[in-house]
């Protein structure tokens, strides 16, 4: 049995953002700023509420999760994200960090192709021409550290069918028909092929669709030939394919089917159609957990931002998070 370490790690210990706000609000009463400007520029409560107000507008987008994942599926962008998560950086400093890593980019290109997309989804922000991660961005960056190869394993600028399928496979393996219930049927073959090529999912070992099982009939009431006995004894309680029986008994496929037919005639064996299933590999399970936790952070942030918005607007004026905003 494969054991995969949950990537939730420190993020779960940080609790809900709204709980953090309540804790900070409690301390706010004891704060005595010299001037209102000092309160605005140094107050953590003010900054966090401001961030949540912006995120409420950003996440209130039917395609937000798709846009977020597509922003994250870029190796250079992830490199920049990890850099600004450690502290504020100017564009020139980021340019030098990328150069040291072997990547040459103009400052305009860094802003246009990498920083602006991060800011558009609320992961990064800028102050006095220095870029850094938001509280929300810091939580996401921490999760991404559990699977640094995300940009290499998933296709960029996609509809995120791969991400949706990986998360759905966390519960149990699925047949082709069950996968069609998760993502659009016309995309299933292509999506499965992509995920198998990067070894994130695997097909069941038994490729044969017809499996042979022992019936409840008492075998002591029948007479076996030596070969029939070998075939019968090789059938496992979980069912066995003809190919596997042939391999285990050393009989050719023609003779294997011959003796199986004889056993079926004696009502000692029956067949059942067992379709191929697709499940996660060890790496696939780890990535699926990371994706699930990223989505959980988004949901948590949405709920927290909605509570902040409710402080200044009637409840009936606020909509709910679109079902399409979260991959299902």
Q: Residues 167, 327: contact at Cβ < 8 Å?
A: yes
CA 267 – CA 214 distance, rounded (Å)? 9
With cut-offs at 50, 70 and 90, classify the pLDDT of residue 224: very high
Contacts of 44 (CB under 8 A, 6+ apart): 24
CATH number of 9-147+294-318: 1.10.10.10
Domain boundaries, the chain: 9-147+294-318, 210-275
Task: Give the Cα-Cα-Cα angle 4, 182, 73 (nearest 5 degrees).
Answer: 60
Q: CATH number of the domain at 210-275, out of 3.20.10.10, 3.40.50.2300, 1.10.10.10, 2.60.120.10? A: 1.10.10.10
For residue 18, the model assigns a pLDDT of 58
What does the longest C-alpha to C-alpha distance in the chain come to? 99
Instruction: Give per-residue pLDDT as tens, 25-80.
Output: 555 556 655 555 455 455 666 677 778 888 888 888 889 999 999 999 999 999 99
* Mean of the per-residue pLDDT values of the chain: 84
Above 70 in pLDDT, residue 20?
no
In this prediction, residue 303 has a pLDDT band, given cuts at 50, 70 and 90, of confident
Of 22-26, 258-262, 285-289, 303-307, the range with the lowest mean pLDDT is 22-26
pLDDT tens digits for range 75-134: 999 999 999 999 999 999 999 999 999 999 999 999 999 999 999 999 999 999 999 999
CB–CB of 298/289 below 8 Å? Answer: no
pTM, entire model: 0.70
Task: Summarize the chain as % helix, strand, coil (round to 5).
Answer: 60, 10, 35
Say if residue 234's pLDDT is above 90: yes
pLDDT of residue 70: 96
pLDDT value at 153 more than 80: yes
Whether 9-147+294-318 and 210-275 share one fold: the answer is yes
């Amino acid at each position: 049995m494969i054991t995969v370490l949950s990537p939730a790690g420190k993020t779960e210990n940080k609790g809900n953002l709204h709980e953090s706000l309540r804790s900070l609000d409690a301390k706010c009463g004891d704060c005595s700023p010299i001037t209102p400007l000092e309160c605005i520029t140094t107050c953590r409560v003010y900054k966090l509420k401001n961030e949540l107000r912006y995120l409420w507008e950003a996440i209130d987008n039917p395609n937000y999760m798709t846009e977020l994942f597509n922003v994250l599926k870029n190796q250079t962008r992830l490199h920049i994200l990890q850099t600004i998560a450690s502290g504020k950086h100017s564009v020139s400093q980021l340019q030098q960090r990328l150069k040291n890593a072997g990547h040459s980019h103009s400052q305009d290109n860094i802003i246009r192709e990498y920083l602006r997309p991060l800011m558009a989804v609320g992961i990064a922000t800028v102050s006095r021409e220095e870029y850094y991660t938001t509280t929300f961005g810091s939580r996401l960056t921490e999760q991404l550290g559990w699977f640094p190869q995300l940009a290499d394993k998933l296709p960029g600028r996609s509809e995120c069918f791969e991400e949706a399928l990986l998360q759905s496979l966390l519960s149990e393996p699925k047949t082709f028909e069950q996968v069609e219930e998760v993502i659009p049927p016309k995309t299933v073959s292509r999506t499965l092929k992509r995920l198998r090529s990067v070894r994130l999912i695997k097909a069941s070992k038994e490729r044969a669709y017809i499996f042979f099982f022992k019936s409840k009939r008492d075998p002591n009431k029948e007479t076996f030939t030596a070969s029939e006995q070998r075939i019968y004894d090789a059938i496992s309680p979980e069912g066995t394919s003809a190919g596997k029986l042939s391999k285990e008994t050393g009989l050719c496929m023609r003779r294997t089917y011959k003796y199986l037919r004889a056993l079926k005639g004696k009502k000692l064996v029956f067949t059942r159609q067992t379709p191929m299933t697709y499940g996660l590999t060890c790496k696939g399970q780890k990535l699926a957990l990371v994706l699930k936790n990223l989505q959980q952070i988004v949901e948590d942030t949405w709920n927290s931002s909605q509570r902040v918005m409710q402080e200044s607007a009637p409840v009936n004026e606020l909509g709910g998070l679109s079902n399409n905003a979260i991959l299902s």
